[in-house]
Chain A
Amino acid sequence: MQSRVLLWFRNGVLPLTVAAMAFAGAQAQDLKSFEQRITTKVLPNGLTLIVCERHDAPVFSYTTFVDAGDVDDPSGESGLAHMFEHLAFKGTSQIGTTDYATEKVALEKVEAANDAYEAEYLKAVGRDEKKLAELKKAFLEAQAEAHKYVIPNQFTDVAERNGAEGLNAQTGMDETMFFWSMPENRLELWAWLESARLSDTVPREFYKERDVVVEERRMRTDSNPIGRLVEQFLATAYVAHNYGRSAIGWPSEVSQINATEAMEFHKKYYVGSNIVVSVVGDVKAAEVMPLLEKYFSKVPGGPKPEEMTTVEPKQFAEKSVTIREQTQPFYLEGYHRPDFHDPDDAVYDAIGDIMSNGRVSRLYRSLVRDQQIAAEAEGFSGFPGDKYPGLFAFYAVPLPGHTPDQMRDAIHKEIEKLKTVDVTDDELAMFKTRTRADLLRGLADNQGLSNSLAEYQTRYGDWRELFTQLDKVDKVTKADIRRVANKVFVAGNRTSAEIVTEAPAAAAKNDGGAQ
């Protein structure tokens, strides 16, 4: 309950802009200085290690970046990558169990019991309800038996007792990341924990955790108006590519994922060649690299999994989604764009910045300040991912009394301007200055730097791209912006989604007076 201003004051988010953190442009934070502090090594199993020395305080942060996300969920198993992320907190054959040999046998029985239950449950014709109830009972009993050997949450317990700070993981469409910070004298302990969970995952308490994930879906998607809208929007914008699929999983799929499927996903995607581990902080590369090599060599080798080959066909029909419910209005639209390897990648960044960044941006000045029809309006790129062709999206939050249609028309007017009139010299220069600044701000703390190094190493095969990308930013011209806007922002390439407010039905009847 401490003052929000105090939080904001030093650590928080400034309205519309970025908080006062590190800005740098000169000596301390350039590529050359990082080359002296960063050591990389590719292990025989294909896993890449990055160590960046920063000796300000006796702490370090790490990131494990796995090049697999929910876009890689097999057909019929949407939500699997995220489900596996949860499993990676459940321990190994050595941690989280009183007797793994016996537990392993019990877990195999759980799986067999689930298979038998599911086979009966999914029978379209002739399902025997009595048999189903028996199978369910047997399934629950098998879980209870396996549970006898579990020491719940022991993996995270050991991490937390040893000072893990900001312990979490996240699964996106494109990747799965695990991360925390720790006192530097726990580096070896961390290496043991992290390498063990990557290489020796046990499908412990899988079915309880599946229930937890379904609750996560209820919270973020089902019970949230924007969550509901976004799921429908993406499902409409894509007809073939997995970017159109619910990332947390369609209810019937995520609720049916089994442990065998999760472990197959692990076997295919959690191989050395698909993983980058970065460490930033008070460590000496010469001392720790042999130690990291010892532990992370335990991760199985194996070929880099093949990339998804489905290509979203060119959209030629404008599409729209309308949700009518008792929620305030909202407008969102998106246009297909190429993936992050596209030579115009930085041009999309320029459009996003000029249209959306701060109170100088075009959408703010037009929709919020001058026309006074929206509380907020922005455009952004790479949604829901950027490894494969994603969307360039725009959204606006109408002020009371204004409609999604007005948002659409006002956004289109600004897009039209982008297509027909060059942006100004000042706007282009501002984009370049701010991009440089924001990049460097992101490097100011250990965890942010660690995340970026691991991501760029994975995506470009070289963390240096984090810095050299600025060359591409510098080359963006006014003509590029017009050319790309004319290519991408066309009606046939557009999908829109809106919430239209519906009056409450028979609200007067609600004698509870709850609404």
Chain B
Amino acid sequence: MKSPLSGQWSVIGGRFGLRLLLLVGVLWGSFNGPVALNAQQNKPWEKIPVPKLHDFKPQEPKRIELKNGIVIFLQEDHELPFVSGGVLIPGGSRDEDPAKAGLVGLYGQAWRTSGTAKMDGDQLDDLLESKAAHIETAGDDDSTAVAWDSLKGDADQVFALALDLLLHPKFNPEKLQLAQQQEAAGIVRRNDEESGIADRESAKLVYGANSPYTRQPELASIGSVTVEDLKAWHDRTIGGKLIIGISGDFDPVAMEAKLRAAFEGLPTAKPEPPRNDAFPGPTPGLSFINKEDVNQSDVQIMGLGIDRHNPDVPALVVMDEILGSGFASRLFQKVRTELGLAYEVGGGFSFAYDHPAVFRVVVLTKSATTVEATKAAMGEIAGLNTRPFTQEELDRAKDNLLTSFLFRYDTPVKVLAERERLEFYGYPANYLETYKAALEKVTVADVTAMAKKYVHPEKLAVLVVGNGPEIKPGLDELNLGTPHPIDITIPMPKGPGGPTEKTQ
């Protein structure tokens, strides 16, 4: 909603913004397609000196492990007079009862808006906002969290309030109802935006509609959530291995003492039970969702990816750069620059920390060129196995990844976030260093082997969301079989409490 109201137009779209920040693209230039007739004679930019980078050693946070298993990170940063903190709690929506899908989302809202016995959520709002301070809670697929920030002078008071909220919430039925209404508004609106439909349904093609990673909250499932459910969720997860991170302008000795006093008395942390999810990957073929109020198709080409424990990740990341990250990637060069068929095009493998993520290539093109653009994108995917990678492509991909690598740790807060992430998922603290070293060693042969091992065009699922009558030539020209229609009708519960308005 903010985006169209902001009135800003950019050279690259938002969907791959984050990927571009972390993993910039590769020029593929003279390799294929638009062929340069003769080599460029003069490259003045190569004569510009690049001096040695100023010495820089990222500041590591202090790690403290309590006897009960809780881990604390302290990251001092005295530039500004403020303190911020957070507590990360294992367990998220993938662990909730499928009949109550949406519980963790409701919990993340109602936890903070309910408040505690000492101070309810509305009073918290008044107090914190008057100090320009914040305490917030949230729920996600594998975790929930409480986070806060304030001026240094208010830090003790805000910490005490956040701790009270963390350990002694008092869930309020009215605030749960408010959260349920807001969630319901999101559910009935979820078919309004084409990209929302495409992102959601394409993930279901990979994981299955009822997977813990894709099952969606429905009006009935959120309506069945009670205050007792929220309490039970809190009581279970608060006993897990909490990870606490504090950054900013504080005295480390006093802060450590304060955190020990607050958390040392908690019982020994219980580990989350291991998950045994099955990841069969998509059923190959073509699916279609008709949406007649658009003039552009959202095409998503989907497969199953891997997780970061896999030693193939560095070489696959380099292959991804060549395929679909940034201006110089094969997809961007072909579909956008050469053919002018899309503003937004790109994608590739993504990498989750504890389960296989997806392979996803997205192209948005006008209805009439749906088939042409899809074929072009599929051609680039297939080309990973048929058009040899060049040393030039490899060097560019590695330059892109490695020269910007320091933006992963150029502020103390980024270093802290990375350490928390690694701790949460049980990765070694030096993961970034070993990952970078592995990236540096990737060869053309490695990338070629990755394509052979992981890129299987015949196993991919293709989803098209678009305006059926406008898509000419039709989708049958893709030769992917009869398009399988997906029903996205929103189930509307009958009876009191359910929304009265008919929705599509």
Residues of chain A having any CB pair with chain B under 8 Å: 1-6, 8-11, 14-18, 20-29, 56-59, 70, 82, 85-86, 89, 94-95, 97-99, 147-154, 156-158, 160-173, 181, 183-186, 188-189, 192-193, 205, 207-216, 218-227, 230, 247-248, 282, 325-328, 357-360, 368-369, 372, 375-376, 383-385, 393, 395, 397-401, 426, 429-430, 433-434, 436-438, 444-445, 501, 503-504, 507, 510, 512-515
Closest to B12 in A: A168
CB-CB < 8 A to B413: which residues of A?
A: 10-11, 21
Whether A3 lies near B140 (C-beta < 8 A) is: yes
CB-CB < 8 A to A10: which residues of B?
A: 86, 245, 413-414, 416-417, 420
Distance (whole angstroms) from the CB of A106 to the closest CB of chain B: 11
Whether A165 lies near B488 (C-beta < 8 A) is: no
CB-CB < 8 A to B51: which residues of A?
A: 185
Give Cα A172 to B7, complex, Å: 6
Whether B417 lies near A5 (C-beta < 8 A) is: no
With A372-B178, A514-B290, A514-B486 known as contacts, the answer to whether A208 contacts B338 (CB < 8 A) is yes
**Cβ contact of B48, chosen from A8, A166, A189, cutoff 8 A:** A189
Distance (whole angstroms) from the CB of B248 to the closest CB of chain A: 9
With A160-B327, A282-B54 known as contacts, the answer to whether A147 contacts B88 (CB < 8 A) is no
Give Cα A6 to B397, complex, Å: 27
Interface residues in B, total, Cβ within 8 A: 146
Distance (whole angstroms) from the CB of B52 to the closest CB of chain A: 7
**Cβ contact of B9, chosen from A98, A171, A189, A513, cutoff 8 A:** A171
CB-CB < 8 A to A158: which residues of B?
A: 45
Distance (whole angstroms) from the CB of A282 to the closest CB of chain B: 6
Distance (whole angstroms) from the CB of A41 to the closest CB of chain B: 21
Chain-A contact segment, one of B189-197, B274-282, B453-461? B189-197
Whether B11 lies near A9 (C-beta < 8 A) is: no
Whether B500 lies near A401 (C-beta < 8 A) is: yes
**Cβ contact of B341, chosen from A188, A211, A397, A504, cutoff 8 A:** A211
Whether A9 lies near B88 (C-beta < 8 A) is: yes
Whether A24 lies near B500 (C-beta < 8 A) is: no
Give Cα A98 to B29, complex, Å: 11
CB-CB < 8 A to B53: which residues of A?
A: 58, 183-185
Distance (whole angstroms) from the CB of B281 to the closest CB of chain A: 15
Residues of chain B having any CB pair with chain A under 8 Å: 1, 3-5, 7-13, 17, 20-21, 24-27, 29-30, 33-40, 42, 44-45, 48-56, 58, 79-82, 84, 86, 88, 92, 109, 113, 121-122, 125-126, 129-132, 134, 136, 138-145, 147-151, 178, 181-182, 184-186, 188-189, 191-194, 245, 288-291, 293-296, 326-328, 332-333, 336-344, 350-353, 357-358, 364-366, 396, 399-400, 403-404, 406-407, 410-411, 413-414, 416-417, 420-421, 424, 468, 485-489, 499-504
Closest to B139 in A: A5
CB-CB < 8 A to B92: which residues of A?
A: 3, 5
Whether A58 lies near B54 (C-beta < 8 A) is: yes
Whether A359 lies near B48 (C-beta < 8 A) is: no
Give Cα A168 to B17, complex, Å: 9
With A59-B406, A225-B192, A359-B125 known as contacts, the answer to whether A219 contacts B328 (CB < 8 A) is no
| A5, A70, A94, A99: residue with the most chain B Cβ atoms closer than 10 Å | A5
* CB pairs A–B below 8 angstroms (15 shown): A3-B424, A5-B138, A11-B417, A20-B86, A20-B147, A29-B80, A58-B55, A59-B410, A70-B9, A148-B36, A152-B27, A162-B399, A212-B340, A218-B296, A328-B189
Whether A515 lies near B291 (C-beta < 8 A) is: yes
With A25-B151, A218-B296 known as contacts, the answer to whether A186 contacts B1 (CB < 8 A) is no
CB-CB < 8 A to A166: which residues of B?
A: 20-21
Whether B132 lies near A2 (C-beta < 8 A) is: no
| A167, A181, A214: residue with the most chain B Cβ atoms closer than 10 Å | A167
With A23-B82, A161-B400 known as contacts, the answer to whether A501 contacts B501 (CB < 8 A) is yes
Give Cα A383 to B26, complex, Å: 37
